[in-house]
């Protein structure tokens, strides 16, 4: 969207008039003809596109509130083939084939509140539905195991702070901190043979920085973060093959403590306004997680492998009204530790009772 010559003259007149508003009363008419804060401009439109596509970067004015609903779907698929030597017989190696698929549906309600103009508090409440299907072939025995779970996920809280005033033509810096709780069903508190978790099972503290820069007609953005995962103790969870007679084998398979590995994240991308009603954004997110340490009650310690996740995400924003943008996104993973499919959408919920007077 480009301003024509007449619009440019009006904007320049408005800027000159507003700078002399208190110096001479006869300039009020010229200021009224200039562009007002409520008028639509190229920069404002780009910022709206950017905030709709990357909600974590936007801040609210003091006293303002915002409620957003989002739906996300992810799919993990994995196939594994093992060959185990049959020591008890001379029949040769025994093949073990396992195909697994896990589908996760997440409905999230996010509430933002502007404490100050440069400080925003956010609360995220996810409702999770999971379905897991595992098909395995052990020698000649075929097994099909299905699991499902419905419940509350891990509720999280975050603070976003802009230490410097945002000025046109300069990059914007936002610092954030977050706390993720363990309100979801913990993977260390369920029966792994029958159930699947809806949460991580431990508390997490996150810290990081986001940067954005408007370069007409594009907004560039990027972020870097660090997450510290707290140790979980006193678990007392059985791990290992079940004993049909007593329900579980021996105490040597009782998990007592988990020290989750910390993680590092990095993302970058851009938002672009195709028109007043249509916009798009593209981003790349990657994360690296350190190894987790599992301690059993007999003194044994097992360490998991490190993991690296990379995801490409594409987003389309559709303006349903002057202040209402619906965001639809699709993505895919680039590594084995990433989800194979990502789909989702988000939209603001207008509640008059939550709006500041």
| Least confident residue range of 22-26, 75-79, 291-295 | 22-26
Fold of 42-354: Lipocalin (2.40.128)
Per-residue pLDDT at 78:
78
Per-residue pLDDT at 252:
52
**Does residue 151 carry a pLDDT above 80?**
yes
E strands in 86-155? 93-116, 119-138, 141-152
**Does residue 76 carry a pLDDT above 80?**
yes
Per-residue pLDDT at 351:
54
Residue with structure tokens 């950017």?
Answer: 50
For residue range 44-62, what is the model confidence (pLDDT) as tens digits?
Answer: 555 555 555 555 556 888 9
Question: Mind giving me the DSSP string for 236-293?
Answer: EEE-SPPPTTTSS--GGGEEEEEEPPPEEEEEEEEEEESSSSEEEEEEEEEEEEPPPE
Q: Which residues contact 295 (CB under 8 A, 6 or more apart)?
A: 255, 256, 257, 258, 259, 301
For residue range 263-287, what is the model confidence (pLDDT) as tens digits?
Answer: 999 999 998 888 888 889 999 999 9
Given pLDDT bands bounded at 50, 70 and 90, which one contains residue 139?
A: low
**Does residue 298 carry a pLDDT above 50?**
yes
Higher pLDDT, 35 or 315: 315
For residue range 186-196, what is the model confidence (pLDDT) as tens digits?
Answer: 999 888 878 89
Domain ranges for the chain: 1-39, 42-354
Per-residue pLDDT at 57:
59
Q: 168 burial class (0-12, 13-18, 19+ CB within 10 angstroms)?
A: exposed
Asked if the peptide bond before residue 10 counts as cis, ω within 30 degrees of 0, the response is no
**Does residue 142 carry a pLDDT above 60?**
yes
Average pLDDT value over all residues in the chain: 78
The Cα 146–Cα 211 span in angstroms is 43
Could you tell me if 332 and 310 are in contact, meaning their C-beta atoms sit under 8 angstroms apart? no
What integer is the mean pLDDT of 11-27?
43
Per-residue pLDDT at 135:
76
* pLDDT-above-90 percentage for the chain: 44
Given pLDDT bands bounded at 50, 70 and 90, which one contains residue 26?
A: very low
154 CB neighbour count, 10 Å cutoff: 23
The Cα 329–Cα 133 span in angstroms is 26
Q: 103 burial class (0-12, 13-18, 19+ CB within 10 angstroms)?
A: middle
180 CB neighbour count, 10 Å cutoff: 23
């Amino acid at each position: 969207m480009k301003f024509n010559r007449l619009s440019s003259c009006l904007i320049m007149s408005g800027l000159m008039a507003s700078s002399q508003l208190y110096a001479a009363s006869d300039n009020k008419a010229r200021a009224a003809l200039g562009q007002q804060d409520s008028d639509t401009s190229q920069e404002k439109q780009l910022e709206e596109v950017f905030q709709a596509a990357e909600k974590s970067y936007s801040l609210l004015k003091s006293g303002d509130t915002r409620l957003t609903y989002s739906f996300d779907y992810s799919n993990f698929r994995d196939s594994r083939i093992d060959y185990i030597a049959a020591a008890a017989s001379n029949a040769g190696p025994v093949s073990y084939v396992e195909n697994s698929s896990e589908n996760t549906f997440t409905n999230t309600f996010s509430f933002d509140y502007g404490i100050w103009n440069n400080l925003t508090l956010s609360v995220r409440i996810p409702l999770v539905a999971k379905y897991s299907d595992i098909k395995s072939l052990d020698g000649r025995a075929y097994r099909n195991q299905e699991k499902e779970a419905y419940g509350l996920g891990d509720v999280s809280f975050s603070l976003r702070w802009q230490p410097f005033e945002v000025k046109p033509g300069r990059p914007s810096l936002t610092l954030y901190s977050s706390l993720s709780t363990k309100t979801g069903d913990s993977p260390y508190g369920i029966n792994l043979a029958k159930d699947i978790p809806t949460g991580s099972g431990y508390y997490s503290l996150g810290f990081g920085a986001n940067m954005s820069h408007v370069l007409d007609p594009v907004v560039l953005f990027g972020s870097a973060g660090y997450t510290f995962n707290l140790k979980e103790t006193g678990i007392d969870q059985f791990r290992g093959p079940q004993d049909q007679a007593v329900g579980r084998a021996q105490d040597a398979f009782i998990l007592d403590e988990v020290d989750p590995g910390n993680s590092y994240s990095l993302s970058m991308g851009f938002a672009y306004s195709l028109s007043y009603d249509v916009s798009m954004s593209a981003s790349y997110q990657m994360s690296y997680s350190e190894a987790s340490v599992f301690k059993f009650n007999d003194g044994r310690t097992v360490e998991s492998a490190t993991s690296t996740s990379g995801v490409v995400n594409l987003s389309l924003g559709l303006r349903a009204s002057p202040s209402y943008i619906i965001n639809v996104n699709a993505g895919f993973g680039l590594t084995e530790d990433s989800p194979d499919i990502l789909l989702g959408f988000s939209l603001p919920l207008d509640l008059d009772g939550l709006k500041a007077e």
